Amino acid sequence: MSIAREEVAHLARLSRLALGEEELDHLAGQLDQIISAVARVQEVAADGIPATSHAVPLVNVYRDDVVVPCLGAEKALAQAPAVDQQRFRVPRILAED
């Protein structure tokens, strides 16, 4: 086993996925298989080889500081799950205590 069942449950919490026990069981087996397979990268990658984060090398990209139109409040809120007084209404963020 490359990954324990408790670790999978922890990953689900970090990933903000409220998964049921059955789903966790199923995923645990599959993730174990996948992680074992992808661990092969450790066979070749030796020290001293630089990491590539982007295939085509990039430097900082700047643009001129020009004002362009942006979405108005109405358009931005049009697809919101809940709206209150021209704002996104969201569930409480802080606990009661």
Partner 1 sequence: MDSELTGMTAAALAAAIAAGEVSAAEVTEAHLARIGAVDAQVHAFLHVAGDAARAAARAVDEQRAAGEVLGPLAGVPLALKDVFTTEDMPTTCGSRILEGWQPPYDATITRRLREAGMVILGKANMDEFAMGSSTENSAFGPSRNPWDLSRVPGGSSGGSAAAVAGFEAPLGIGTDTGGSIRQPAAVCGIVGVKPTYGGSSRYGLVSFASSLDTPGPLARTVLDAALLHEAFSGHDPCDSTSVDAPVPPVVAAARQADVSGLRVGVVPELGGEGYQPGVMARFGEAVELLESLGAKIVDVSCPHFSYALPAYYLIAPSEASSNLARFDGMRYGLRVGDDGTRSAEEVMALTRAQGFGAEVKRRIMLGTYALSSGYYDAYYGKAQQVRTLIIRDFEAAFEQVDVLVSPTTPTTAFPIGERADDPIAMYLADLCTIPSDLAGNAALTVPCGLAPEDGLPVGLQIMAPVLADDRVYRVGAAVEAVLADRRGHALLDEARGLDEARGIDNG
Contact between 9 and 24 (Cβ < 8 Å):
yes
Rg of the chain's alpha carbons, rounded to an integer?
23
Q: Which of 37, 65, 85, 97 binds partner 1 (CB under 8 A)?
A: 37
Binding residue for partner 1 (CB under 8 A) from 61, 85, 86, 97? 61
- Euclidean distance between CA atoms 69 and 64, whole angstroms: 15
Helix (H, G, I), strand (E, B) or coil at 51: coil
| Total interface residues for partner 1 by CB under 8 A | 53
Q: Which residues bind partner 1 (CB under 8 A)?
A: 3, 8, 11-19, 23, 27, 30-31, 33-35, 37-46, 49-56, 58, 61, 63, 71, 75-76, 78-82, 88, 90-93, 95
